[in-house]
Structure 1
Amino acid sequence: MTETNKVAFITGAAKGIGLSIAKRLADDGMTVVINAHHELSDEQTKALTDAGYDFDVLVGDVADEANAEQMVNAVVEKHGQIDVLVNNAGITKDKLLSRMKTADFKAVLDTNLVGAFNMTKFTMKFMQKARQGAIVNISSISGLHGNLGQANYSSSKAGLVGLTKTAAREGALRGIRSNAVAPGMVKTDMTEKMSERRQNEFTDQIPLKRFAEPDEIADAVAFLVHNQYITGQVITVDGGLTI
């Protein structure tokens, strides 16, 4: 689907799932702005250029309220609108609940949940004026079912489901849709750091017997962005892991 008049803003999109989403929406004809916590390396920038992508890159911390507002305003000032917001920025600080530091619990919630709240709040103001918009939050099966050593991450991703549904109810009054995607095991830098034994253990539990490619998560996001009659939903993309 070609949407050359749409502007999409994706947080945490320097690599992995976020970058795949940015590429997919750009391939659909959208003007894409990506957020990263740090400047892209020369190698990353060259790879994007060589692949034919020319994204605006905004460096900032979504967990910082003032910074989040500045980034949203910067996109609107340059492009006049934000039609699509994808809240993908996220971090992990895994440890068993009994050993987890309160600071690490709060840090993950600040980026993964408060950051999405900040971006949604400021973006919705412009979407409400335009009386249209699509928000997609990247949750996780950990937020739906919990996971060992991820009390902070699971809590943040579960919170995203509540935020998604509330934004859907409130946004519907002005034509704004809000949905979420809950990935399972995906081939990213995060999962590649797992031991081969651990990866094999997860693969054995997945009915489709493999991890997802980031592009497969991006496909689900694009589906929710384009379908005008879906809101308040959470799509699980996990190869059957949570059947």
Structure 2
Amino acid sequence: MLTISQLAAYAGVTVRAVRHYHQIGLLPEPERDRSGYRRYGAHAVVSLVKIATLADAGVPLSEIGDLVEADEETFAAAVRRIDRRLSDEIARLERSRTSIAELAAGDALLLPREVVAYLDRLRELGVSGPVLAGERDGWILMAARWPDRVRDWMPGKLASLDDPRIVRLYRVLSLLFDKSELDEPLMNEAADLMAELAEQAYEADYNTAQEAQEDAVPFDLLELLALETDPRATRMVELMRERGWEGWTRLEKVEPRATPR
């Protein structure tokens, strides 16, 4: 006959586990002997080994009691059912691992791979900090509304990075928004570049007017995103207005006017 400590050691579990199995009715609790100890026989050892084995295999404790006492056919059927459930759980966990890996990799969980490639290219060009984060968040807004269209836009966006003015604009904005204070020379350089590029796009009739007419909400949100992110975006809007352009991400040609200071 074994004490509870000996029983636990024999089955490879803790005394606490044995007591828990007693408490939930999985393992019968023997009477105490004259010395006040509970003594366990061979059947208790066999039962505990079965319980521990099934628990280690992932069988819920609520189902183990029936399995311990089941005949061979019932036991086999139950094991097959449990195996199917565990297979489903493994598949779910694998999907979760994939999602976590994508999340750890950066932007791939939230954005199409074409957009991720564009953001990676911006990183290679030295774009960083709030500008890169704002670019990513902006594409999240656009992809949520137009998941297929953003893929079609990406070849043109990547090709645009061959233009040194666009690369310079991104780098100037990165420098500008990484600073804690307002840098007027950088602000004006960025505004000059944006105005020049906007004029070129306007003359080429290359804009997003069609999408804006169909659904202006994503573009309005992009404007808000920029203005909510940093107060310097408001100053940039003022500088662009002085150069004859209204807005931030969806620029419209207007009469240039000086902004009161």
The interval holding the TM-score normalised by the smaller chain is under 0.3
TM-score by length of 2: 0.26
Between 1 and 2, higher relative CO (CA 8 Å, sep ≥ 6) is seen in: 1
Greater helix share, structure number: 2
